[in-house]
Amino acid sequence: MIEAAGRRFKRDGIDSSGISALMKDSGLTNGAFYRHFTSKDDLAATAVADQLRTQNASIVAQAAPGRVGLARIVRWYPSARHRDSSDDCCPSAALLDEIRRRHDPTRQACTEGVLMVIDGIAARLAPDDPLPARTRALSAYTMTAGTLQLSVALADQRLADELLEQGIHNALTLGVEDEHARTAA
């Protein structure tokens, strides 16, 4: 139910997804919904948390330490495959405009999930001391999420692809330049 809701929310939006459609996607009845959730907002918070947890576990936590890991994360996140599949897209890129208008539980789930991803990126950048790498992780996440979100909105496919490539380049350059500055100091 949570997985199906996450896919539908990213595809159609939270507000446009009715409980009947969400339950139909899950192969369940409306009555089953209320045995698990108090409201659609409760399900939205759970789905956003689940999507970010899954993203972190399947991509960020699996990345190698250092620049190699950063490159894997950055090349995966703002990719054409990720952009073109609303079912696989990150809730940060697909739902930011709606999440900001949700009740606190959904916004809190997003906050906690984003922090988990950022801390995971920082741990890849500096496994022995991730706290100083947190600023670079924040920058990389912000740059890639913004790149992906803008790319999704463009009608010009060539421009959207160019934007993705430039966003990847910028995020990787940021990580490498900051790494060189840190080791030179």
Question: Phi, psi at residue 72, to the nearest 5°?
Answer: -60, -45
Q: Is the pLDDT of residue 182 over 70?
A: no
Give residue 176's pLDDT band: very low, low, confident or very high (50, 70, 90). low
Q: How far is CA 23 from CA 10, 17, 37, 180, in A?
A: 16, 10, 12, 51
* Tens-digit pLDDT profile for residues 94-111: 888 889 888 889 999 999
Q: How many whole angstroms separate alpha carbon 125 and alpha carbon 142?
A: 16
Please write the tens of the pLDDT for every residue from 11-36: 999 999 999 999 999 999 888 999 99
Q: Mean pLDDT across the stretch 74-99?
A: 83
Provide the pLDDT for residue 130.
85
Query: 0.85 exceeded by the pTM?
Result: no
**Structure-token pair, residue 148:** 């992906």
Q: Tell me the pLDDT tens digit for each residue of 142-162.
A: 999 999 999 989 999 999 999
pLDDT at 66 over 90: no
Give backbone dihedrals phi and psi of 167, rounded to 5 degrees, phi first: -65, -40
Residue whose token pair is 């139909």: 24
Region 45-54: mean pLDDT is 94
